[in-house]
Amino acid sequence: MEILHISAECYPVAKVGGLGDVVGALPKYQHQLGNFAKVVIPAYRNKYYHTHEFDVVHQAGMWLGHNWYHFNVIKERSNELGFDLYLVDIPGLLDTPGVYGYPNDTERFLAFQVAVLDWINEWQHQPDVIHCHDHHTGLIPFLLNYGYKYERLKSIPTALTIHNAQYQGQFGWDKLYLIPSFDLWKSGMLDWGGAINPLASAIKCAWRVTTVSPGYLEELYYNANGLEALINQERAKMVGILNGIDNVVWDPATDRMLPLNYDEDTITAGKQTNKQHLCERFGLDASLPLISFIGRLVGDKGADLLPEIIGRSLHELAGEVNFLVLGSGDPHIEWSLQQTRAVVSYGFNVHIGYDESLSHQIYAGSDFLLMPSRVEPCGLNQMYALRYGTVPVVRSTGGLKDTVIDFGDKDGVGIRFNQASVWDVCYSVKRAIELYRDSKHLDEVRLRGMNIDNSWDSSAQRYLEMYKSMK
Ligand code: ADP
């Protein structure tokens, strides 16, 4: 099959979170299963763009409302990613260093979607499936169904994957003129809650809609940031498929970002050396259990709870545990963490920012990875932690519930708690310390986690089966 993934992120080209990881891995595994997978994302002006070579494969221009833009589609030359990578370059809109957070994000991603469709419209053949990811590509199923320009593409099956239903990309009807002309009778297919809602539109118009874990799909039926009724209505085309991880990128035995590589046989020495490096860098005591957090510092991840969790635990358990946080996001949470760091003189450090290699070093050098998420559509961090022999400490929600069994139960690999509350998490911290002290039990739990196969193999297959069912 020929599958075209359209996304705002793709690792290692442009990554902000899990979306990038998924779009950088799933196509590679689909390719290995004998399919032809292509990925198209915007041509941001980032490190990858400046350090790689590209060939121009398409040049054109388009109207976005009253403005005319030239655009190029360029193809990465070396084919190093395991799939064909195309970038859409629209000077004046997409040539930004970052992915999101610009005042004209609505125009930027609308232009991206129009450029991609204009480009596909010129292909002599058609892809077998168009796979859209999140709201940045959410108007594509609508435009394929009802856009006058794209009549000849109408029969291409479309899939939407919801990586996070909190972000829907809504904008006002005053911007309707930006959308290429379509059958106006169908404008209701754009609407949700009185605004143009790209995620809702894609749920209405795509042939299939997937969520990144079965657990998250169950939650969306009653808690979907206002989309519950729509998701219930479209129940027949919803499928929950658990994300996998890229076992080649995330392998402690070969990971070049680690001070020392290790596998199941060398885990004790490997983790100790990695922990020592990390603790030296961050002024922590390597003889104590190290509990880390990596992620966006937002309420959904429970990051607002961290200052109190850390403050309380260090007060009650002084000299018994270390904490380390890597993340960026809500300025208030960043500030609170820095204040906590200033107040507690030992046992805690924080690195505000995005740092891919440091994240790998933390997965390897920590004993526990804390995820007090209020919402977790899939969560990749817990799967990376398991692969690196780090015990995940997670709230029972979404994909975390699907991937982590408590060590008190049969085949347990982690620690689970029910509430995103300081009390529940602090109790789990105590359980983590107890487990750490029982080194034999800790080794068993770690090894069980390392041996779990969370790779994309089976999930990539499930996506293929779903595509086939759309024919
Ligand atoms: P999200 O909701 O952010 O997409 P996921 O668990 O699906 O959450 O994916 C998070 C990904 O982003 C993981 O690969 C994680 O290691 C990475 N990540 C998050 N924050 C940072 C950071 N500050 N520095 C490095 N990597 C990060």
In terms of Cβ atoms closer than 10 Å to its own Cβ (0-12, 13-18, 19+), residue 415 is: buried
Span 402-425, average pLDDT: 97
> What pLDDT, in 10s, does the model give residues 77-104?
998 999 999 999 999 999 999 999 999 9
Mean pLDDT of the chain: 97
Task: Choose among 151, 137, 139, 144: nearest CA to 178.
Answer: 139
Any ligand 1 atom below 6 A from CB of 302: no
Residue 346: which pLDDT band, with cuts at 50, 70 and 90?
confident
**Is any atom of ligand 1 closer than 6 Å to the C-beta of 329?**
no
Nearest Cα neighbor of 206 from 268, 267, 285, 144 is: 144
Q: Are 454 and 245 in contact (CB under 8 A)?
A: yes
% of the chain beyond a pLDDT of 90? 98
Question: What's the mean pLDDT in 236-255?
Answer: 96
**What angle (nearest 5°) sits at the alpha carbon of residue 21, between those of residues 153 and 129?**
15
Q: How far is the CA of 15 from the centre of ligand 1 (A)?
A: 9
Q: Is the CB of 300 under 6 A from ligand 1?
A: no
Pairing assessment for the beta strands 322-329 and 54-64 based on DSSP bridges: unpaired
- Nearest Cα neighbor of 428 from 416, 444, 436, 420 is 416
Residue type at 190? Answer: L
Phi, psi values for residue 54, rounded to 5°: -135, 155
Spatial distance between the Cα atoms of 165 and 152, rounded to a whole number of angstroms: 30
Q: Give CA–CA dist 138/168, Å, rounded.
A: 9
For residue range 412-423, list pLDDT tens digits in order: 999 999 999 999
Q: In angstroms, rounded to a whole number, what is the distance separating the alpha carbons of residues 415 and 235?
A: 32
Considering the four listed CATH numbers 3.90.1150.10, 1.10.10.1100, 3.30.1490.190, 3.40.50.2000, the one that applies to the domain covering 2-244+456-469 is 3.40.50.2000
pLDDT band, residue 471 (cuts 50/70/90) = confident
Which CATH topology does 264-450 take?
Rossmann fold (3.40.50)
What's the pLDDT tens digit per position in 315-331? 998 889 999 999 999 99
Residues pairing with 96 in the sheet: none
For ligand 1, the distance from its centroid to the CA atom of residue 151, given in whole angstroms, is 38
The segment(s) of the chain belonging to CATH 3.40.50.2000 are 2-244+456-469, 264-450
* Spatial CA neighbour of 276 closest among 256, 258, 263, 294: 258
Please state the atom number of ligand 1 nearest to the C-alpha of residue 19.
Answer: 4
Q: DSSP label at 180?
A: P
Q: Each residue of 151-181: pLDDT tens digit?
A: 999 999 999 999 999 999 999 999 999 999 9
pLDDT of 269 above 80: yes
Which two tokens mark 97? 């260093």
Containing 121, the helix (H) or strand (E) segment is helix 105-121
Radius of gyration from C-alpha coordinates of the chain = 23
**The pLDDT of residue 332 is above 90:** yes
pTM, rounded to two decimals: 0.94
Structure tokens at 388: 């690196």
327 lines ligand 1 (CB under 6 A): yes
Is the pLDDT at 345 greater than 90? The verdict is: no
Closest by CA to 376, choosing from 198, 217, 161, is 217
Going by CA atoms, what residue is nearest to atom 21 of ligand 1?
Answer: 295
80 CB-side CA count, 13 A: 11
Nearest CA to ligand 1 atom 26: 356
> What span, in angstroms and rounded, lies between the C-alpha atoms of 75 and 73?
7
Average pLDDT over residues 388-395: 98
- Can you tell me whether residue 244 is helix, strand or coil? coil
- Give the annotated binding-site residues: 15
Say if ligand 1 is within 6 A of residue 355 CB. Answer: yes
Query: Is 167 a pocket residue for ligand 1 (Cβ < 6 Å)?
Result: no
Q: State how beta strands 84-89 and 67-76 pair.
A: antiparallel
Residue of 136, 294, 397 with the most ligand 1 atoms within 8 Å of its CB, for mutation: 294
- List, for residues 27-78, the tens digit of each pLDDT value: 999 999 999 999 999 999 999 999 999 999 999 999 999 999 999 999 999 9
pLDDT digits (tens, 9 = 90+) for 294-310: 999 999 999 999 999 99
Q: Is 367 in the pocket of ligand 1 (CB under 6 A)?
A: no
> In terms of Cα–Cα distance, which of 152, 117, 94, 143 is closest to 6?
117
- Per the annotation, where are the binding residues for ADP-alpha-D-glucose? 15
